[in-house]
Structure 1
Amino acid sequence: MSQSVLPPEPETQSVADVADDTVEPVQTTSFDHRDEFEYRPMSLWASVTLFLGVCSLAGLVSLTGLMIGVATVLVGCFAVYRIRRAKGELSGIPLTVAGMVLAVGFTSVGATFQYQDYVNELPPGYKRVNFPKDISAKEFVLRRDGEQAYWSLHPEVEPLVDEKIFIKGYLWQSRVSERMSEFVLLKDNGKCCMGGDPKPFDMIEVHMKDGKTFDYTDGLVAISGVLRANMRPAPGEAIYTLEADNAGRAKTVF
């Protein structure tokens, strides 16, 4: 006699049992602290300050670099003002401070170097003369002797004649550019000669002594020698001449 085996009936839960089951609530992310991760744009002035601070490295070798350093500090102060005025909406204070520190450092060191060059470039026994201010700007003085009028040196220029001077200027380009024993020194880099020849008080004819020569350069040059003056020059001769002991590229622009 065979006996059938029926599968067990599935257990059933009552509605009350289902209701008693604990349902875990869905956890949601809170955005209460989103301000801690909020992005704040970088101030453009902060980036400019850092860029200028790097550029102020040029202050180690040039006057323009020193001016860039000063400008960097001013821009940096303005950047800090703008960032603080934004009341937390802009960032960039550390970047601004870094640029200002670079500028102050490079400018301080550069100013020291250039001051030392300025002091040491003057040969012993020579008087420093500023070509545009001490000679060119004085021009000539018209004097009268009875009914006769004549031109003479300015009273402030006369004491410089026959004295050892140290002067800076620019070379007037000539046909010869190498190993020049004679050349013309101008008060500036050609501006005095626009539209014609330079005026007599804007130029000095240089004669190198002891067989020395000098190669042409378009930069500022410094020359030491004895200044001569002749108010009645022959045709083609300059009124001012300089018997030069030495010539070279100027170390500073002062």
Structure 2
Amino acid sequence: MPMSSQQRADTEAIDDPGRGPSSGLDRNDRAPSQAPQQASYDQYRVLSMSAVVAIVLGVVSLPALILPSFLFVAGFGVVFGWLSMRRLTKSRDEFTGHRLALAGCLLSVITLVIGGVRATVVYATEVPEGYERIGFYQLQPDPDHPNLPVSPMSLEMDGKKVFIKGYIYPADKRMGLQHFVLIPDLGTCCFGGNPKLTDMVEVTLKPPHTVDYSLRLQRLGGTLKVDKQLKAVNGMEGVYYQLEADYVR
């Protein structure tokens, strides 16, 4: 005897329970148990320390915007941040912090670019017309001339207009200085001891120029004088180099 449509539906429901009246309810009951699976998995991932270091380097590199000596920090931050992002991309199932590493890397990149451009412009324009740039490294004695206490190059520059950068060696007087010793870095000031004889330039500022003692880099221009005999200054053993400065920046 042929089955009615209702009988066929009942038979199909018995053969395939998943299509029965309660199947929709069963599926709804099962779905919520799978939804929080990813969220519960995320709580086992840890923040990558490399991402933290990357953002710290990005922040620490900010002084490079005005201090070229910090540019190496920005450069290191770029490389470290990029390596951190690569590692985190491969280990997303284990670590978080990809956005943090990206932020640190971008901060270092921006600082490196802006600071680098600024330093380049300053270097290219800081020497006034009529002066020749020299550095303390050019004032060091030549091993090939052991009997000469000063560099041969400095003797060639004796009496010429030069431009040199350095830091004021601390003395008793701190304000309105017209006479002081210029040194190449702050290491001697900060850690004690006397600088090398060829790492000192006795500076005399021509009126009305004066400077106040600070840790700021000084840019000076003037006439270089070289003496092969030591000249005592500020209680130190002596200096070989003197600068009569008429340009201060």
Q: Normalising by structure 2, what TM-score? A: 0.71
- Which among 110, 119, 141 is matched to residue 115 of structure 2? 110
Aligned ranges 1:158-197 → 2 under 5 Å: 158-189=155-186, 191=188, 197=194
Cα root mean square deviation, aligned: 3.3
Structure whose residues are more often helix by fraction: 2
Distance 1:173 1:121, change over 3 A: same
Q: Distance in 2 between matches of 1:244 and 1:139?
A: 30
Q: Distance in 2 between matches of 1:140 and 1:208?
A: 34
- Which among 211, 216, 226 is matched to residue 214 of structure 1? 211
Indicate conservation of the 8 Å contact 1:69/1:107, yes or no: yes
Indicate conservation of the 8 Å contact 2:221/2:247, yes or no: yes
Partner of 1:5: none
Indicate conservation of the 8 Å contact 1:140/1:152, yes or no: no
Percent identity at matched positions? 29
Partner of 2:133: 128
Question: SS in structure 2 opposite 1:177?
Answer: coil
Indicate conservation of the 8 Å contact 1:56/1:66, yes or no: yes
Indicate conservation of the 8 Å contact 2:231/2:240, yes or no: no
Partner of 1:146: none
Q: Distance in 2 between matches of 1:221 and 1:107?
A: 23
Question: SS in structure 2 opposite 1:239?
Answer: strand
Question: SS in structure 2 opposite 1:223?
Answer: strand
**Structure 1, 95-104 or 176-185: larger mean CA deviation:** 95-104
Q: Distance in 2 between matches of 1:45 and 1:124?
A: 48
Partner of 2:11: none
**Structure 1, 155-164 or 228-237: larger mean CA deviation:** 228-237
Structure 2 regions of 5+ residues with no counterpart? Answer: 1-20
Indicate conservation of the 8 Å contact 2:141/2:150, yes or no: no
Question: SS in structure 2 opposite 1:80?
Answer: helix
Deviation sequence 1:43-70 (CA, Å, 0-9, x none) = 3323432343344333311235422322
**Structure 1, 176-185 or 51-60: larger mean CA deviation:** 51-60
Q: Distance in 2 between matches of 1:137 and 1:182?
A: 25
Please tell me the residue identity of whatever aligns with 1:215: D
Partner of 2:39: 37
Deviation sequence 1:221-246 (CA, Å, 0-9, x none) = 22111101122466667432111012
Please tell me the residue identity of whatever aligns with 1:220: L
Deviation sequence 1:5-63 (CA, Å, 0-9, x none) = xxxxxxxxxxxxxxxxxx97985444345444344234332343234334433331123
Partner of 2:67: 62
- Which among 221, 224, 229 is matched to residue 227 of structure 1? 224
- Which among 49, 57, 67 is matched to residue 52 of structure 1? 57
Distance 1:138 1:81, change over 3 A: same
Max Rg structure: 1
Structure 1 regions of 5+ residues with no counterpart? Answer: 1-22, 144-150, 249-254
